Structure 1
């Protein structure tokens, strides 16, 4: 392994050796079509990125979009419900796409019809509503709705429709279906035509298990059935996951209903799916609602409605998404041109999955313990039984699971995109992770919901990590992922080498001589910014003053050794060692969200926190907030507040300083809507001049916006206690709370863990000042033991009182060096290890009662008086309440 001597069990599996030892012929790539050239030409946007969430959404090639755009600019496509020439062109093109879809699945209009929907979920809902269910009555036990427990949420959700009609719902475990098949359960009474529906996925979106397509024929013929009842079984094959990387032959496996989503296959367009319906079933389907285009005739003033004869026309309510449907043609063209067809994709993606599974399974700690627990029903022996999905949890050397949220955050540092949670498949998640129904209910009562970051409860996982491959995935992608696991679990010292690795290079680890030229993973190497060299000069601000009072300007945090102190720290009486007095040692505000700190020794308070703290933020061309997670170079942007002149001066290396007024001009302000942590905020654009300045600096179109002074954003009570009876805490553009406080003793403990000794003495890779800056606190205190702040219920600072509203649960931003914008995962990794994998650091503060009738100030040197939770009159927050991110 590059970058050091690998421990036994930590070596990366050699791909050539893997191919030679395989019992089957492995196919990688697409023959004469160069995969490397395909990636460079069609997916250049993936440079520096390892995308491993193709089961969530695959990616479209550039030529598909180019050809689609060319089609639209050269043709006039009108509403297909009209009768003019452009409408006829649309109608004929859409019909041609229907034929193309059926041909892709090896069938024809004689056997199947294509109903376009908003996605596979809409297709499933359509079946639930249109299926000819029979409710139980005196002469009938009624229909049965059966579904495999390893099904997507959208399949399970069909039961709400069926239950409204008193139809019995029967969940069937995968192992029970197998038993029914082996035992040859009795066939249904041939004279009874009571309709039942069985739904199962062709491929599990959780584990990639491919369930036998032969079940379709066996169920329909009565050779097997999920439950022994008289009647006729119909089969819905959920093909959404399967067809993204594999062919499906409907001439052989004639399911009655086949829902699918096209973005799973092509990446574009999204929000478009289809329900393929076997024409033999079409006459049985029922329709209640009718929309535009579905009626042959109707009356507005009388209950008179005649549906169109064509099943497709009856069920496609309103005007179909005809331009997106036309885009599908270019998706089929691109897929065939680039890969040669779905069989090739099937073989290629399985080879990558089998290699990764084999390599990941072999990784061991020095004590022999496995590095990962893989959740699978197969041994990845064949693409007939296993798709290109690997689901797992990372373990420590004692066999304890490391929460998926922490793995996801660490992967983000390497620009590796994975999926975490339960993947909208609670049944499979429960089965593989051993989560009982009672545990699910208990977790929900404790505050855990689908999609959050609560990954461990009482040490037990609530979900897992999933990686999945697409047709453009490469061996370098797989090896970059495996090196990430090795570097972070087995060879942590190699982690920095891997951070600078780029997918597409045969050796994903760069040589030491190349590392100095590496840029942050999120920087597009094809479009270098004028600021890319900023990271090599951390002393560019040395000609500016070190510390200022409220009205002055201050440079970015300087990198100092542990024995160096800023004037603020000297003024506060911070000792070189020991706890010292319990006082405020540093005050920081961050006028522009995610940009550099502005340090002061005394500063006024506003209703939302420190005056002008996070009052501005940088947004992209779509108005979406940028943070250092997407754009690490934001930390190189230095805002300075001058209260006397009423301006904010913004500086960055290589750029002329620019001034921004502190308050908006109401006559000229352009109001816009933005979001911060799902909260709507009213903002205004700060103008074209600062927009052009930022766009030039960052190499992408962006704007500076400021929260409107007349807009009030209220803090959510679930993130803290009501600060004071009859009052509502208000927030600026922060994520969670008005203030963030950290304790120097806590930083010092982490500092000692990160900075090790060698034969030459102490090696200080992370100076105290550097660590403090990474946590982006407003208030830094001294004089208490490490992490004692997490026991506080409230504190007084001078004459001001604050309520502690909970811990700050850290994200990967703490890995960004605030002086250079470079990333290093060691801080997050070490904090995760020392804090038992819950990366909490610092606490949130809110005003309890703030009287602004006279000016209020926070000052360095002010005494800090905490009240412990057990001594507080009020109850502390439930442990289940989690704070998901740092104030950015």
Structure 2
């Protein structure tokens, strides 16, 4: 059989039955990877390629936004801090875990992450009563993992190399007293076991079940050694083309480099630390940002409580971290996720493996010596990496340096050498320790071009595939091998080829692995123009205090003059005459929010034009309408997100430090908002499965309050008498300033963005209240609301004036608080207590009855 007859797309599909996204990949390459035209790039295990859209979007991002040092507290710094936090959540989501289980420590790469573990792990030397720590590692590990033995040995730990065969061949089931990570008997000696999820040399994937097996002391060498075993899973090679589910393999330490996944940014990695194991890590050095406090003149230091803060010395590479958002977006947009990438890359690698390993010279001798474990039959046991040496027609190995030079002539980019994995190199090439030492004495070092010593190879050739690799890449490489290294005519070992073709494949990957990012829905939303009533529920009377309420300390009736809801956080107010009360406040108050392209909440501090977006809730129609100058009206359904959740993206967002699960409201709403605001953004709403509590935010031990996307509490109340005092102060200050534009009462009230406005008697009397009854509904008064530059935004125009904040500071003697937070007591069941109405009597109880 002629070899060229097999180099067809039909053969590829027949042999490998590839799955994934290859149908439109040519169009993607032309659009996203124009720079590789004429290049066959086969070094994705070294660094994959970045799509051009990710770089463009990143450049637009940093050109559009001001990102400051996250250690500061100014607006640009807060934007950086919030965006970096969003990236942390996104990384954890990608690996199917949560901040409750893992923390992320950003590093300069996976090597720096490994070095961090080596320097902070609590190695112990042997004593008369306790054994010393073991640093155990597979011999098929990257140099950076093996390098841990230096710091470990220096502190008395014993290096303990084991072969993969020893770990898998020696198991111990049913060990008495050994059932989990925390059950290790009286011996507390910490040991560390390190192994790669995927060999960077051969692409072999090691069982992820080793994580639990080692910690439970069922696998060798843990089964033979007492103590507490921790597991470091080197994921740097694995995550480039394969999903990793940390729910299934909860390793204690997971180092990785992001350029292996995205190609951009470089110089950025991370150490994922299992929170249960984090307490064991100890640092001696501390740098900027890692200290909660210290003394310069005394040996006194308290580390930061947060794990990430504690180990990220100095300012993190925040612009590179922000770039990850765009890399995640591009990866998802192009491929749909790692569950698609894995079968695509594996299919290409398998096809190349089958043909290359079946290829023969004209005399029938094989062309390649393959270095694999098994027959390349499943993506669960083999990654998209091929390692081999080429052979001449006499069976002699052709030096990898010669292969590398000729490949460059064909514009084929591959890698040669030992790939920073001496253990695997020795194993596959049968290089003894003494031979390695002799080669070193003779002048051969890692990375040079000395490929043969006495006819024996010192290294090999590695090609590896990525998500943008194509069938043409396979053809170009195989054609290069035939053209340059095969004695013609090129033949195929039919028996071997047929055996490989009949091997069972599992190209769909692991069904237990979950997508970290779900696709967006494409369904549209009908647009209508509608004039809305202010309130749709029937009016309720002013109401009286319930007879069951103790009114002995309730004083001075006030009146509820205004009710505002803010359906979309930071957008315009929706004023109503009466409105239902929900579990988290006024029904639909702050149920939605606008987020930027990174998933970070947009507020008027960052985007003042939000105030010109006017949402209206139509309860009878089950719709939310959006209005804005120059835009057609948009309708968004009020339906339960349980329905939306099946078709739209579920993601995690952050509101005032709290993590919440959200549901995306669809592409039409995103396009509408993006067009008006002039930047990519989306509309999201709180998931019904997400419960955000606010008990700790209130000065009370009462029932926990459930929160929507509000800042700190269910309700915010202001006193009109206090507003009048601020207005007087503004007028007084304007007489001596250039800003002489008067602010009317309504304009000022709108700037404070309260839910409830009461007509009171004395300014700031509300600061002393502890309980309120409005109509028949009971409320507890919590903290005062701390104000920021948000009150400087004119809610009609979006322009900013300094006067309100300066006046507030003057009135409050430097304090910037205005209004009080409320939470609702929900014990009452009367229907009238479930609706608030303008004109209702407001009774209050003060914290001090003598007031």
Which TM-score tier does this pair reach, normalised by the shorter chain? 0.5 to 0.7
How far residue 226 of structure 1 moved from its aligned partner, in angstroms, is 2.1
**1:401 correspondence with 2:400:** no
Of 15, 19, 24, 2:13 maps to: 19
Cα distance in 2, alignment partners of residues 333 and 222 from structure 1: 40
**1:211 correspondence with 2:206:** yes
Render the CA deviation track for 1:545-573: whole Å, top value 9, x for unaligned: xxxxxxxxxxxxxxxxxxxxxxxxxxxxx
Structure 1 residue ranges without an equivalent (≥5): 1-6, 495-888
**1:298 correspondence with 2:294:** yes
How far residue 16 of structure 1 moved from its aligned partner, in angstroms, is 1.8
Cα distance in 1, alignment partners of residues 14 and 3 from structure 2: 20
What are the residue-to-residue correspondences of 1:509-548 with 2, within 5 Å?
none
**1:198 correspondence with 2:193:** yes
Render the CA deviation track for 1:185-214: whole Å, top value 9, x for unaligned: 888653322211100000000000000001
**1:312 correspondence with 2:308:** yes
Cα distance in 2, alignment partners of residues 199 and 63 from structure 1: 37
**1:169 correspondence with 2:159:** yes
How far residue 252 of structure 1 moved from its aligned partner, in angstroms, is 1.5
Render the CA deviation track for 1:588-607: whole Å, top value 9, x for unaligned: xxxxxxxxxxxxxxxxxxxx
Cα distance in 1, alignment partners of residues 407 and 10 from structure 2: 26
Report the equivalent of 1:84. 74
Render the CA deviation track for 1:650-675: whole Å, top value 9, x for unaligned: xxxxxxxxxxxxxxxxxxxxxxxxxx
What are the residue-to-residue correspondences of 1:864-883 with 2, within 5 Å?
none
Is residue 187–residue 225 contact of structure 1 (8 Å, CA) maintained in 2? no
Report the equivalent of 1:157. 147
Cα distance in 2, alignment partners of residues 12 and 486 from structure 1: 13
How far residue 83 of structure 1 moved from its aligned partner, in angstroms, is 1.3
Is residue 12–residue 482 contact of structure 1 (8 Å, CA) maintained in 2? no
How far residue 283 of structure 1 moved from its aligned partner, in angstroms, is 1.4
Render the CA deviation track for 1:296-325: whole Å, top value 9, x for unaligned: 111222211111111111100000000000
**1:181 correspondence with 2:181:** no
Is residue 135–residue 142 contact of structure 1 (8 Å, CA) maintained in 2? yes
> Secondary structure of the residue that 1:41 maps to in structure 2?
helix
**1:355 correspondence with 2:334:** no
Normalising by structure 1, report the TM-score: 0.53
Report the equivalent of 1:697. none
**1:466 correspondence with 2:462:** yes
Of 231, 236, 254, 2:232 maps to: 236
Report the equivalent of 1:224. 219
How far residue 218 of structure 1 moved from its aligned partner, in angstroms, is 1.2
Cα distance in 2, alignment partners of residues 326 and 36 from structure 1: 29
Is residue 172–residue 218 contact of structure 2 (8 Å, CA) maintained in 1? no
Is residue 260–residue 275 contact of structure 1 (8 Å, CA) maintained in 2? yes
Render the CA deviation track for 1:340-370: whole Å, top value 9, x for unaligned: 0001000100000000000101110122110
Is residue 12–residue 483 contact of structure 1 (8 Å, CA) maintained in 2? no
Render the CA deviation track for 1:367-404: whole Å, top value 9, x for unaligned: 21100001001211000000000000000011100000
Cα distance in 2, alignment partners of residues 185 and 433 from structure 1: 38
How far residue 184 of structure 1 moved from its aligned partner, in angstroms, is 8.1
**Considering only CA atoms, is the larger Rg found in Structure 1 or Structure 2?**
2
How far residue 441 of structure 1 moved from its aligned partner, in angstroms, is 0.3
Is residue 68–residue 330 contact of structure 1 (8 Å, CA) maintained in 2? yes
Normalising by structure 2, report the TM-score: 0.56
> Secondary structure of the residue that 1:297 maps to in structure 2?
strand
Query: How many pairs are equivalent?
Result: 484
What are the residue-to-residue correspondences of 1:444-455 with 2, within 5 Å?
444-455=440-451
Report the equivalent of 2:281. 285
Report the equivalent of 1:36. 26
Greater mean alpha carbon deviation, residues 129-138 or residues 434-443: 129-138
Cα distance in 1, alignment partners of residues 69 and 45 from structure 2: 33
Cα distance in 1, alignment partners of residues 417 and 130 from structure 2: 42
How far residue 493 of structure 1 moved from its aligned partner, in angstroms, is 10
**1:73 correspondence with 2:73:** no
What are the residue-to-residue correspondences of 1:481-630 with 2, within 5 Å?
481-490=477-486
**1:47 correspondence with 2:37:** yes
Cα distance in 2, alignment partners of residues 184 and 443 from structure 1: 46
> Secondary structure of the residue that 2:128 maps to in structure 1?
coil
How far residue 8 of structure 1 moved from its aligned partner, in angstroms, is 4.5
Cα RMSD, aligned residues only: 1.7
Is residue 10–residue 363 contact of structure 1 (8 Å, CA) maintained in 2? no
Change (3 A) 1:216 1:409: same
Is residue 186–residue 222 contact of structure 1 (8 Å, CA) maintained in 2? no
> Secondary structure of the residue that 1:281 maps to in structure 2?
helix
Cα distance in 1, alignment partners of residues 471 and 295 from structure 2: 62
Render the CA deviation track for 1:844-869: whole Å, top value 9, x for unaligned: xxxxxxxxxxxxxxxxxxxxxxxxxx
Render the CA deviation track for 1:22-57: whole Å, top value 9, x for unaligned: 5xx5315355xx100110000010011000000000
Cα distance in 2, alignment partners of residues 186 and 152 from structure 1: 34
Of 335, 340, 344, 1:339 maps to: 335
**1:118 correspondence with 2:113:** no
Of 301, 323, 339, 1:327 maps to: 323
Cα distance in 1, alignment partners of residues 421 and 364 from structure 2: 32
Is residue 8–residue 366 contact of structure 1 (8 Å, CA) maintained in 2? no
Change (3 A) 1:187 1:467: farther
Is residue 38–residue 338 contact of structure 1 (8 Å, CA) maintained in 2? yes
Is residue 15–residue 355 contact of structure 1 (8 Å, CA) maintained in 2? no
Structure 2 residue ranges without an equivalent (≥5): 179-183, 491-851
What are the residue-to-residue correspondences of 1:354-373 with 2, within 5 Å?
354-373=350-369
Cα distance in 1, alignment partners of residues 22 and 398 from structure 2: 37
Change (3 A) 1:187 1:200: farther
Report the equivalent of 1:701. none
What are the residue-to-residue correspondences of 1:688-727 with 2, within 5 Å?
none
